Structure 1
Amino acid sequence: MRIHLLLGALASAVLALVLGTDLAWAHSGAPIAPVTEGPSATELSSLDVGWLFSGYGVKHILLGYDHLLFLAGLALLCRQLRDVVGVVGVFAIAYSSTLVGGTLAGIAVPGDLVDAVIALSVGFVGAQVAFGSANRFLGASPRWPALCFGLAHGLGLSSLLQELRLPQDELLPSVIGFNVGVEVGQVAALAAFIGLLAAVRAFPFPSRQQIPAGFALMSASSFLLAFVV
């Protein structure tokens, strides 16, 4: 019964995606308020700017269902807590590198392209959850999709920041603060999800429930792709 409650929660996430709110996208959703709102930029120190953008990072990632669904899929693939830490650590390094590097270098990627790749990432990890035990390719270490798709997630966040056209003297503290906020939000969301799994005695995730959970993620991926296309 408890595991069915968990699957019901995953279905609710899919339903939220069907409703089609822009907040479903961590990488192109509701715009972040620029630093120039409120106190003028000249009144804010670099530390203040970093602190401000760390708050934006936390809020943005907790409202980004695409990012959270991918994280949930990675967690479902892990058999031990240390595996979760390792896989999510690879993911964090990957997206942090393209988030910071892409923003500082001014590398902008079309939002629809990034959103499509990220939607596919949710579907791929869902396929790994559902069929990884029976397919050699899908059964590969989850660190590889975490690394590859993490780079795409970071480019999406970078493009979002670049839309603000921040002054050069605000750029570095903004991107570092935003990245720290994303990390904090991600850890909080992941801890809540692992706690939920543990509460229903579903960590590590039971093999008999992997197919329905994987299909829930693949359904979410299809809805995300439908919004892009």
Structure 2
Amino acid sequence: MMGLARPAMARIEGIGFWKLCGSGTGEGFTPVPNTGVYAILATWPDLVTARKQTVEARIFRRYASHATESWTLFLAPTSSRGEWSGVTPFVPEHGDTHGPVAALTRATLRPSRALRFWRRVPDISAVIGADPNVAFKIGIGEVPLLHQITFSIWPDTESMAAFARADGPHANAIKAVRDGEWFREELYARFRILGDRGTWAGRAPLATLKETP
């Protein structure tokens, strides 16, 4: 269904930029595919349309009928830099930037740098997995090994920034990426969370977020 859904996705009324993605095993941060977990990313003109079409559009109904569980997260971009498939898919909105934040990074790896990138991933995954502030994290991708996306949810921008700045595997990998020009294309975006629907592994991931003062 992921491979054959492209024509149906393109015909959904109101849909903007969209991508169909697979995931890796575990929390997704591995090159070994998980054939049971898939992600659909889409932009919409407003929250009402997003809520309506992710339930009523025919292709989304088909996905729901084949799934044992699904979780839909509704977001509004607060910052974005870079490109995805040659376009800028997210238009940042002005608004409250306090409270929980979602972070998305997407990159196209240069084939000659892919092995070096994947050698660092297990250490980064272990560090982010041990961080008590992370409410949710997953690695997904459009094309195995070469087109990679990381997505995570944090209680606030401060805790997310602290993880990014901390000395360790993540910071070292970022430096290596910059020094070695590992990426052919990259995008970084942050979002505020508008709401969600459904569950992940039988629970509501947003319920684990700590309230900020």
Structure 2-normalised TM-score?
0.27
Structure with bigger helix share is 1
Structure with bigger strand share is 2
| Largest Rg, 1 or 2 | 1
Larger RCO, structure (CA 8 Å, separation 6 or more): 1
